Amino acid sequence: MPEPTSSPDPASDTPTTSGPTQPHGADRAPGAAPPRRRARGLLGDLARLWRRGHNVLDATIERNEQARLHAREVGLSLEETGTRAPAPAAEVAPPAAPTLPAVVRTRSTTMDSLPSWLVRGGLGSWLLLGIGIIISLVFFLTSKVVPVFIGMFLALIITSILQPLVNLFARVMPRFPATFLALLTALGVVAGLVTYVVTSVTNQWSTLAVRFTDGIHTIMDFLEHGPLPVHITQAEIMREIDDLMTKGQDYVTQNAPTLAGEVLSNAGTLVEVFTVLALALFVTIFFLASGGKMWRWFLNELPARYRQRVHRAAGAGWYTFAGYARGTVIVALTDAVMAGVFLQVVGIPLAAPLAVLVFIGAFIPIIGAPGAMVIAMIVALASKGVVTMIVVGVGVAAIGQIEGHILQPLIMGKQVSIHPVVVIVAVALGTFSAGLLGAIVAVPLVSVLWSVYSELHVRDTPVVGELPAYVADRG
């Protein structure tokens, strides 16, 4: 029986065999693993053709550079001696190129006449264009499933916060019971905070109503008889309020069907919110209980040569994301405690709800803390007057400075090291592209991308010392 012969296939990286066809698996030893099948079809052929063409293109560029250098040396020798200097055959003859398909050989011949910088620039431009298309496609697909994205983002935040607690409980019990115990502990803490806020508001409601009434009269007297260049009387304010109430009633009467439709749509939004929360809770349970097994399965599905780099990049991204989430919670909790104690000392009513508002505002970059400060100042103005309002504003601003210059560098300095300009630009881009959600997601997303890039990027020797000043060449 003739033995099968092997011959190179131009469109494939593996040799093709000719000869009698054996049934699939006939020549495989019993118990041996089935051979790994290569990718077939149009996409596989295009990928292999692209890899071979790219390698040949690099070889062609290198040969062209050597030919140009040799031609330049021959030209210089002719100018010096005035005679034709024969070149050795070994230097003139370029290295033999591998056998290629006709399309790639035509492209290589066309590229011979182009400078290397133009060829490499063109390839880089096409690669950047492809990367931009992929990123735009990811954002487009994400915009179509925003609730799912929000649910996954919440699941990652909760997982990063509760993971140390689950690891602590897992030392004395299995992983799944430790996960449920950690979730119950977190729900108990949240329920306790809500109960404390509601109880404090209920107990101070009567006193708060009297203080707010006195505060409103104080504000009205200040606007009417204060040192401001423009005076507003109480009658004018009441007239404006009556006009607004009349316009509001007319608007409701004229747009009743539209408002009813908006109410129904808001009811659907409420259902969507509960769906997102249920998705986040469900995914969080599995992330906490078996996240390591899920990640191991994902790595095993990748080619072996990519596993280490993907694991390193994902580890750097998760380290940064978890550090940002945990650090934000710690900083927000510290701000809330300091604000609550400060407002309680000053004697501002609703100190506990205002502290909770400061805690929530810490999760919204740039605008969260100032918004909480403005609301606290309004409450202080209505209850205690202008002087107390100024004191509250200065105190809350001082707490913000402590957060920005002490707490954040101390807690999140190693995990998240991004320049404030990058933070501002990222928040602005996120706000204009996706509103409040974009503002919240922008900073952790940029932090994760930068940490992954820093982990995989090999840096050159940094520039040290003073940079030389630019001097224009006038000659």
Angle at 420 between CA 418 and CA 424, to 5 degrees: 110
Beta strands, E only, 131-228:
none
Q: Please report which helix (H) or strand (E) contains residue 16, including its range.
A: strand 16-18
Q: Rounded to two decimals, what is the model's pTM?
A: 0.63
Say what the pLDDT of residue 299 is: 93
Q: Give dist(CA 212, CA 237) in Å, integer.
A: 17
Tokens of 66: 């050597």
CA distances from residue 25 to 29, 35, 79 in whole angstroms, order as listed: 8, 9, 69
Token pair 């293109």 is found at: 57
Tell me which residue of 10, 3, 349, 288 sits closest to 159, measured CA to CA.
288
Say what the pLDDT of residue 475 is: 53
Tell me which residue of 74, 67, 437, 425 sits closest to 276, measured CA to CA.
437
Tell me which residue of 106, 129, 110, 128 sits closest to 119, measured CA to CA.
110
Contact 182, 287 (CB under 8 A): no
- Stretches in the chain below the pLDDT threshold 70: 1-54, 56-57, 60, 68, 71-113, 208, 259-260, 263-268, 365-366, 413-415, 473-475
Q: Give dist(CA 227, CA 169) in Å, integer.
A: 62
pLDDT in tens, 34-92: 444 444 555 566 566 666 666 766 776 777 777 767 766 665 555 555 544 454 444 44
Say what the pLDDT of residue 22 is: 46
Q: Please report which helix (H) or strand (E) contains residue 110, including its range.
A: helix 102-111
Alpha helices, H only, 347-385: 351-361, 368-383
The DSSP symbol for 403 reads I
Residue 418 φ then ψ, to 5°: -125, 140
pLDDT in tens, 330-339: 888 888 889 8
Contacts of 345 (CB under 8 A, 6+ apart): none
Q: At what angle do helices 420-456 and 304-346 cross, to 10 degrees?
A: 150
